Amino acid sequence: MAIIAIIGGTGLTNMPGLTIERRQMVKTIYGAPSSPLIHGQLNGKEVIFLARHGRRHTIPPHMINYRANLMALHEVGVTHVIALASVGGIADDCEDKKIVIPDQIIDYTNGRAHTFHGAKDDTFEHIDFTEPYSASVREKLIEGCKAAKVPFVADGVYGATQGPRLETAAEIRRMENDGCTIVGMTGMPEASLARELGMEYGCCAMVVNRAAGKGVNGINFSEVEKNIGESVGNVQRVLAETLSGGVAH
């Protein structure tokens, strides 16, 4: 049986149709995850929430213990992961408040613990990361977007940057030349760690601003917060439709 986890913000635990059953703190050999695991039922489907940035959103992207987060989910039996992300739009069709279901990723991060392998005398296996996102999870997320009737883009390339600062206009131009259509700070190594653990992992990204150099008036953080607030309802509906359709089937 599929056990589904949603990695994202704390506000999603206020979703309509969600019943919270218990909170669980899991200790792993990589340390503690960002927050307790919240077990609940969403419209009758078992789901586990993990707040990536902590319960009070205090952990910046480059300091998230991605290994502990993914290992904690793995240890409680999670098989499928939906990762939520707030991103900047690079491509013209990735407009504010649109949802993007990326199919590719480019990693621009540095210094992050990006694998479970590497300890002395540790054996390792290479992973095939040709397609970094699960095709089945992506399909269900796309179906969820259609059923929820929200504006969305069915594919895209997520450029994962180090943060916590935003990018320069020149960096965004380089990323656009590389083929990136959206930019965020948490996509890696989350996706590759999930692959190492054999989890089916997909990303539901909400565009909350135009990337550096792409907007008319630069980046307005008040506008970003407004877009996040207005996008949460859309994401909630997409998740509800995605889970009702059965992520694993």
Place of tokens 């990723």: 105
* pLDDT digits 0-9 by tens, 134-146: 999 999 999 999 9
What pLDDT was estimated at residue 41? 87
What mean pLDDT is predicted for residues 148-160? 97
What is the structure's pLDDT at 95?
Answer: 93
Is the confidence at residue 249, as pLDDT, over 60? no
pLDDT of residue 147: 96
Contact 23, 38 (CB under 8 A): yes
Cα–Cα distance, 230 to 205 (Å, whole number): 14
C-alpha span between 37 and 130 (Å, rounded): 30
d(CA 171, CA 188): 18
pLDDT, tens digit (0-9, with 9 covering 90-100), for 61-91: 999 999 999 999 999 999 999 999 999 999 9
Residue 167 phi, psi dihedral angles, 5° rounding: -85, 160
Is residue 43 pLDDT above 70, yes or no? yes
Q: Which helix (H) or strand (E) holds 183?
A: strand 182-184
Residue 13 has pLDDT above 70, yes or no: no
Return the SS3 of 152.
Answer: strand
Residue 223 has a CB neighbour count (10 Å cut-off) of 15
CA distance 176 to 77: 38
The answer to whether 71 and 113 have CB atoms below 8 angstroms apart is no
Domains of the chain listed by start with CATH number: 4-244 (3.40.50.1580)
Between the CA of residue 193 and those of 8, 73, 113, 129, 136, what are the distances in Å? Answer: 16, 11, 10, 11, 18
pTM summary value: 0.93
CA dist 113 → 14, 20, 145, 197, 198 (Å): 32, 32, 33, 15, 18
Write the pLDDT tens digit of every residue in 198-211. 999 999 999 999 99
The burial of 198, by beta-carbon neighbours within 10 Å (0-12 exposed, 13-18 middle, 19 or more buried), is given as exposed
Q: Is the pLDDT of residue 119 over 80?
A: no
